[in-house]
Structure 1
Amino acid sequence: MPRLCLAFFLAINVSFLFGSTIASLDAASKWSKSLSSGVLEVSFIFFLILDPSLSSFHPTSGLAREVTDTLLATKKHEILLLSRQDAPDTPQPPSTKWIKVDYSNVDDLANTLKGIHTLLSFLTPQTDENNLVQKNLIDAAVKAGAKRFAPSEWVGSGLQHMEWYWGKQAIRDYLAEINHDQKVLEFSLFQPGWFTDYFAYPMQSAKSFRSFPVCISFEHCRAFYAEGSESARITLTTVSDFAKIVAQAVGYEEGPWPEIGGIKGTEMTVKEFLDVGERVRGRKFTIEKLKRSDLENHNVFCSWIPEVEHNKGIGDCEKNLADKLNASVLLSIADEDLNVGDEWNRILPGYEFVDAENFLNEIWNGK
């Protein structure tokens, strides 16, 4: 029976996260407490699911939990927790087993991964120095004879403006390198674009995933974007759809995984999405257009800026970080880095995605 492995890094420093996110740390911490009886020092948690396929994924916290819960709901998987720490004395959740590992030792990791079919990685690039942990996981997977690996992606197609995600590009390059002469490890870059759930903020639209305020606020009916990007196309995919597609991909055996694994919920332009916002909220949005030249210098000259709770109270550092995050996201939108392909849609044509406008109508109805 094929086995599944899921790898997480619960990052303590999430200052530069977007998409896996700053705001998701709270959910990650709560889950870490439940798994390890309050031992927050546990930094790495791996899930080896003893059944159809293995997986390892990125987004630290809530997103990883959403995928795990969806996989467990199939009742096909047993979970092994891999950590640098010894197992706590208290009992672990049902269908789980704790294993202590050394992430710097490829041979030991390979022994642990023997029999694993698929790995899904949710390691946070900016907290994996030189991408050593994820590269070791890849090397160990090859050595152990694993069939498939999903690196820590879970974002859009382009990373050029999001330097805190450049480690993802390094892993893309590494996977291409090891497979250059012959295929030694099948992989797919799972790319859902922008999670529709962000626009439900401050309401919670998923069980574990926590959204945070972004540059288009359905709550306050306002938005800002780079001038000239009204026609830029974006992909909006709900967290629920994303998790279900990943779970189906884990069980997919009819052919190879696509190396580029776009998951396309709803595609539209920035202008079309703002129109959706106005229809959903029943009022006009206040719009501000920012100069690209300012954004390229990480200057966000706007009457408001999304506040992230975890960064409050740190003065100029908070403002600089917020400007950098928002400028990078706006440039990514303008250059269509948050639009993705439909590779998984075509492989799984029977799956019906939730339309972004219908999803947000349900969230905001009566609000």
Structure 2
Amino acid sequence: MPTLAIAGGTSASLGRAIITAVISSEQSFWNIVILSRNMSAPLWLRAIDKDGTRAQIYAINYHSVDSLAAALKGVHTVVSVTSAVDGSQAKIQINLLEAAVKAGCKRFAPAQWGFGPLGSENISVLKWANEGVWDACVKHKDKIESAKFNIGSFMNYIGHGMYPIPSPTSNEETMLRQLAAGKGYATGEDEACQGLQRQGDLKDDSGAFLVGLRNGVAELPQTEDGRWPRISMTSLRDVGRFMAASLDLPEWEEDMTMVGDTLTMGELLAHAEAVTGKKFQVDVIKPRDLEMKLGETVQDDFMGLMWAEFKLAYTRDLEDEVVLQPVVNRLCPTVIPMSARQYMENYWSNV
């Protein structure tokens, strides 16, 4: 069986999404190597791979190409889901690429996982994680096949508006049982939010972004002429399923873009009101408001800058920036992703 290496694969979000999809797929015959800074297996991994027969964890040094290359010996495909926030993210991707080349790996996917190909060019807060990475991939294109996996916006931010804060906790034995039953996800908030942190900036402090279902609030960007712009969204679990299916493709395209749903902000609001039966309190924000907010936000407030830049990007309503083309959907037609309406109906009904 070929081997997949996932850098940062112990994460509860993208790492879990990909690994659970690969392990649970009846068509997948991939071994998994997880590259991590430590050897501790998270509960969700212990729940789905109790004996450790499908996934092995290698403790590595992301700043040593030799350390990485040794761990990648015999690996076919390297996928990165790292999220270093200390300024080293781009360098880690380049180190992984160089190690993959040195180890003779066939494929590499850097930690892109965001807006379309124009996103990293137009949105300054995304550049810190991508600076020089794709240039390095192009430089090595005769030695290794590389692709950017673009997913748009995470649909799971909707889930943060559904559940109370703080979340109830269970003991380890109970959590392992719940995670095993849910193939790596526990019923409730864990299943809905799928490891995405409560980082959204809605005024109800729920951690949701754009719409908060529990409290019936929304902050939605509009174009300068008053139109509702579009948004492409994908749930984390569908990202994992698309990635698992992509492993078996004979070739990757340069931009392996996937889409769960593309809809307007107005349609997103209409779905939220229909599913919850509430009339939402909506704050409409225009490009000039966002530009003013960006000017007033201090440079070390990374999350504040990010949300303002993201909303400003939505107002541009550009193809290949926030509106994505469903490339992986076309290449992997057996994967049927969840729409925004289905997401709301599915998880709101459990609240």
- Please report the TM-score for the alignment, with normalisation by the length of structure 1: 0.70
Q: Which residue is equivalent to 2:52?
A: 94
The residue aligned with 1:149 is 108
Aligned residue number for residue 232 of structure 1: 229
Does 1:199 pair with 2:192? no
- Mapped contact 1:190–1:260 kept (Cα < 8 A): yes
Q: Encode CA deviations 1:215-241: one digit per residue, 9 max, x unaligned.
A: 322222222233427432211222222
C-alpha change, 1:87 and 1:246, in structure 2 (3 Å) is closer
1:165-244 equivalences in 2 (<5 Å)? 165-179=127-141, 183-201=142-160, 202-203=162-163, 204=189, 205-206=191-192, 208-212=194-198, 213-228=208-223, 230-244=227-241
After superposition, the Cα gap between the structure-2 partners of 1:178 and 1:217, relative to the gap in structure 1 and judged at 3 Å, is: same
The answer as to 2:99 corresponding to 1:140 is: yes
Q: 1:214 Cα deviation (Å)?
A: 1.1
Q: What amino acid is the match of 2:348?
A: W
After superposition, the Cα gap between the structure-2 partners of 1:287 and 1:124, relative to the gap in structure 1 and judged at 3 Å, is same
Listed as ranges, the matches of 1:267-278 within 5 Å are 267-278=262-273
1:87/1:100 contact within 8 Å kept: no
SS, match of residue 262 in structure 1 = coil
Aligned residues: 297
Post-superposition offset of 1:134? 1.6
Whole-Å Cα distance in 2 between the matches of residues 258 and 4 of structure 1? 18
Amino acid at match of 2:123: H
Structure-1 residue corresponding to 2:325: 341
Q: CA deviation at 1:363?
A: 1.9
Q: How does 1:1-16 map to 2 (within 5 A)?
A: 1-8=1-8
CA displacement at 1:118 relative to structure 2: 0.2
Q: Is the 8 A contact 1:233 1:267 kept in 2?
A: yes
Percent identity for Structure 1 against Structure 2 = 25
1:299 is displaced (CA, Å) by 5.0
Q: 1:98 to 1:240 in 2, by over 3 A?
A: closer
Q: Does 1:284 align with 2:279?
A: yes
1: CA distance, partners of 2:349 / 2:39: 48
In structure 1, which of residues 265, 288, 304 is the aligned counterpart of residue 260 of structure 2?
A: 265
Q: Which residue, out of 109, 124, 130, partners 2:83?
A: 124
**Within the alignment, does 1:358 sit opposite 2:317 as a pair?**
no
Aligned equivalents of 1:113, 1:7: Cα separation in 2: 10
Whole-angstrom distance in 1 between the partners of 2:323 and 2:229: 9
Aligned-partner SS, 2:269? helix
User: Does the residue aligned with 2:256 lie in a helix, a strand or coil?
Assistant: strand
Contact 1:262 1:342 in 2 (8 A): yes
Contact in 2 for aligned 1:300/1:327 (Cα 8 Å): no
Shift of 1:176: 2.4
Pick which of 125-134 and 278-287 moved more.
125-134
CA RMSD of aligned residues (A): 3.2
Q: Relative to 1, partners in 2 of residues 1:139 and 1:318: Cα closer, same or farther, differing over 3 Å? A: closer
State the distance in 2 between where 1:294 and 1:189 align. Answer: 32
For 1:264 and 1:162, the matched residues in 2 are separated by 23
Residue pair 1:66, 1:207 contacting (<8 A) in 2 also: no
In the alignment, structure 1 segments of 5+ residues that lack a partner are: 9-45, 48-59, 302-315
Look up the equivalent residue of 2:22 and give its one-letter code: L
Relative to structure 1, the CA distance from residue 332 to residue 219 in structure 2 (aligned partners, 3 Å threshold; closer, same or farther) is: farther
Q: Could you tell me which residue of structure 2 aligns to residue 37 of structure 1?
A: none
Shift of 1:355: 2.3
Q: Does 1:256 align with 2:240?
A: no
- Which stretches in structure 2 are left out of the alignment for 5+ residues? 164-188, 199-207
The 3-state SS of whatever aligns with 1:260 is coil
Note the alpha carbon deviations across 1:312-341, whole angstroms, 9 max, x for none. Answer: xxxx98995554232122112223433221
The CA distance in 2 between the partners of 1:189 and 1:281, in whole Å, is 36
Give the stretch that moved more between structures: 357-366 or 131-140: 357-366
Which of 29, 37, 58 is equivalent to 1:76?
A: 29
Instruction: State the alpha-carbon separation in 2 of the partners of residues 284 and 87 from structure 1.
Output: 46
Query: Which contiguous aligned blocks of 4+ residues in structure 1 show a shift greater than 6 angstroms?
Result: 316-319
Q: Distance in 2 between matches of 1:130 and 1:338?
A: 22
Residues 1:162 and 1:93: Cα distance change in structure 2 (over 3 Å)? farther
Residue 150 of structure 1 and its aligned partner are, at CA, apart by 1.0
Counterpart AA for 1:149: F
Q: How far is 1:342 from its partner?
A: 0.7
Q: Which amino acid aligns with 1:94?
A: G
CA 84–245 in structure 1, closer or farther in 2 if over 3 Å, else same: closer
Letter in 1 for 2:311: L
Question: What does residue range 306-321 of structure 1 map to in structure 2 within 5 Å?
Answer: 320=301
